[in-house]
Structure 1
Amino acid sequence: MFKWLKNYMPRGLYGRAALILIVPIVTIQLVVSVVFIQRHFNRITVQMTSAVVVEMAYLLQQVNDAPNPVAARAAISPLGVPLALQIALPSDPVKSDRAITDFTARVVERVLREGLVNLSAVDFETVQAKVVLGFDTRHGHMRISFDRARVSATNPHQLLVLMAATGFLMTVIAYLFLRNQLRPIRRLARAAEAFGKGQVVPYRLSGATEVRAAGKAFLDMRARIERQIEQRTMMLSGVSHDLRTPLTRMKLSLSMLEEKDRTELERDVEDMSQLVDSFLSFARSDAESDQTETEDPNAVARRVIAKFNRTESRVKTGELEAEGTMRMRPASIERALDNLVGNALRYGDQVRLSVLTGRGDLRFVVEDDGPGIPAKMRGEALKPFARLDAARNQNKGSGVGLGLAIASDIARSHGGHIRLGESEDFGGLKIELVLPR
Structure 2
Amino acid sequence: MTGTIHGTFPPQNRTPVSIDLSSNQFEGPVPLFIFKATESHLSNNKFSTLNSSCDADHGSPLSFLDISYNQMAGELPDCWSRFTELMILVLTNNKLSGKIPSSIGSCPWLLTNELTGSIPTWFGKSSPYLLILTLRSNQFNGSIPSSLCRLEYIQLLDLSSNDISGSIPNCIGNFTAMKRKAISGQNGTIDSGINSTSIILPHNGSSVVGYKAQATLMWKGTLSQYQNTLRLVKSIDLSSNKLTGEIPGEIIELNGLISLNLSRNNLSGQIPEGIGQLNSLDALDLSRNHFSGKIPSSLTEVDRLNTLDLSRNNLSGKIPTSTQLQSFDPATYSGKPELCGPPLPNKCQGDEPTTPTETKDAQSQEDEDSFISRGFYTSMALGFVVGIWGLWGPVLFIKSWRYVYFKLLNRAGDWIFVMVAVYKAKLSRVIKC
| TM-score (norm: length of structure 2) | 0.21
Larger Cα Rg: Structure 1 or Structure 2?
Answer: 1
Tell me: higher relative CO, structure 1 or 2? Use CA pairs within 8 A at least 6 residues apart: 1
TM-score for both structures, normalised by structure 1 = 0.21
More helix by share: 1
* Larger fraction in strand: 2
